[in-house]
A = this chain, B = another copy of it.
Amino acid sequence: MTMLRDYWYVGALAEELDRIPLARVLLGSPVVLYRNRAGAPVALQDLCSHRRAPLSRGVVLDDDIECPYHGMRFDGGGRCTLIPSQSNIPRAAHIRSFPVQERQGIVWIWGGEPESADPATIPHFPWRDSAEWNSEISYYYHVKADHILMTDNLLDLGHVAFIHADTIGFDARKLAHDPLVTEVEGTSVRNTRIIPDVEPAPAVRRWGHFPGLVERSSISTWYPPCFTNIQFSSRDERTSVELHINHLITPETDSTHHYWVFISRNFELDNDVLTKQMREDNDVVHHQDLDIVEAQQRMIELVPEATEMAIKQDKGLVAAHRIMDRLEREERAGSPSQESA
């Protein structure tokens, strides 16, 4: 699989983990996740070293997981602690464990060599801890497409006017000039688009009760390996609607990925009716993206030899691909360069 290894990826939501093992394929590997007695998350290869049975079908005993097939046990570090029929435990019995960290309701898993895992590089989302933001809305999607297609989708604001015309988009056909500005800063790419005096998007009009035109702005920041933070606002002289939308992708296989979206808003924090409305509205938006990237995936599988052609508005996407290619080359050369947001 093509992906950056030396990064923290989302493995699960904190609320998904307990003493019952959770099976998930992450970064091309089967992984079993559970909590130990102290409540700390554990992530192990979901394959017993003995006969390749999935450990996730077994049970958690104290801090260890027991293989369902023959009762071998492994601790949170992947060390085999029990082989039913024998007293010595050979080195080959141990299995791979993945560094994990729990932060802000997210369980992060490290994709590279354990010794290079530095929790300081885990992305931090200040608005998720702030009383001035409502962060109740989150989504998980299993997407049947190469993760790079979703990354491209998020790096590209040109599609908003088309795919999302009836939700969060606008009518690009009416726009004389697209004020998109793309900037590269280290290993991150920022796309900024500020449109004054424009109709609010259909969904946004509902959320902000805008009677007329708004200034609409979106600042989208992509950073490795697969993350995009979008700051989205619509405002008139009376009111302002602001959102932080965090898109977090974890590759599953060459042609599928996990996709988490977290939304924080700074308005009507206690309005549960609005929360419900926004949750439904944004789910429609995300399905518009899923539909098109899954359609691209099917086309690529049908015509693998077809090529692509970058256009002017793809500046951000081209920059991000260049960064990813360089980071991958560096990883292969053994000098990981980590600059998360």
Which residues from B are CB-within-8-Å of A70? 156, 158-159, 162, 311, 313
A300 and B52 contact, CB distance less than 8 A: yes
A53 and B292 contact, CB distance less than 8 A: yes
Given the interface contacts A53-B296, A296-B52, does A68 sit within 8 Å of B312 by beta carbon? no
Q: Mark A1-37, 1 if CB is under 8 A from B, else 0.
A: 0000000000000000000000001000110000000
A163 and B69 contact, CB distance less than 8 A: yes
What is the CB-to-nearest-CB distance from A54 to chain B, in angstroms, rounded to a whole number?
A: 5
B53 and A311 contact, CB distance less than 8 A: no
Which residues from B are CB-within-8-Å of A292? 53, 57, 68-69
**A131: Cβ under 8 A from any B Cβ:** no
- Which chain B residue has the least Cβ–Cβ distance from A93? B309
Please tell me which stretch of A79-87, A98-106, A255-263, A274-282 contacts chain B, meaning at least 4 of its Cβ atoms lie within 8 angstroms of it.
Answer: A79-87
- Which chain B residue has the least Cβ–Cβ distance from A302? B30
Give 27 CB contacts A-B under 8 Å. Answer: A47-B299, A49-B309, A51-B152, A52-B296, A52-B308, A53-B292, A54-B296, A54-B298, A57-B292, A68-B163, A69-B159, A69-B292, A70-B159, A70-B311, A70-B313, A71-B158, A71-B172, A71-B173, A84-B158, A84-B311, A84-B313, A85-B178, A85-B311, A86-B312, A86-B313, A93-B309, A93-B311
**A38: Cβ under 8 A from any B Cβ:** no
Which residues from B are CB-within-8-Å of A49? 308-309
Which residues from B are CB-within-8-Å of A178? 84-85
Q: Please name the 3 residue pairs, one residue from A and one from B, whose CB atoms are nearest each other, closest first.
A: A85-B313, A86-B312, A85-B312
What is the CB-to-nearest-CB distance from A62 to chain B, in angstroms, rounded to a whole number?
A: 12
**A161: Cβ under 8 A from any B Cβ:** yes
**A50: Cβ under 8 A from any B Cβ:** yes
B25 and A302 contact, CB distance less than 8 A: yes
B57 and A162 contact, CB distance less than 8 A: no
B57 and A295 contact, CB distance less than 8 A: yes
Which residues from B are CB-within-8-Å of A313? 70, 84-86
Which residues from B are CB-within-8-Å of A295? 53-54, 57
Which residues from B are CB-within-8-Å of A161? 71, 84
Report the Cα distance A180→B296, complex, angstroms. 51
Tell which of B72, B90, B92, B309 touches A50, judged by Cβ atoms closer than 8 Å.
B309
CB-contacts of A37-83 with B (<8 A): 46-47, 49-54, 57, 66-72, 83
B51 and A296 contact, CB distance less than 8 A: yes
Q: Mark A303-321, 1 if CB is under 8 A from B, else 0.
A: 1001011111100000000
- Which chain B residue has the least Cβ–Cβ distance from A29? B303
Given the interface contacts A71-B172, A162-B71, A296-B51, does A180 sit within 8 Å of B309 by beta carbon? no
Which residues from B are CB-within-8-Å of A308? 49-52
Among A46, A69, A90, A312, the most chain B Cβ lie within 10 Å of the Cβ of A69
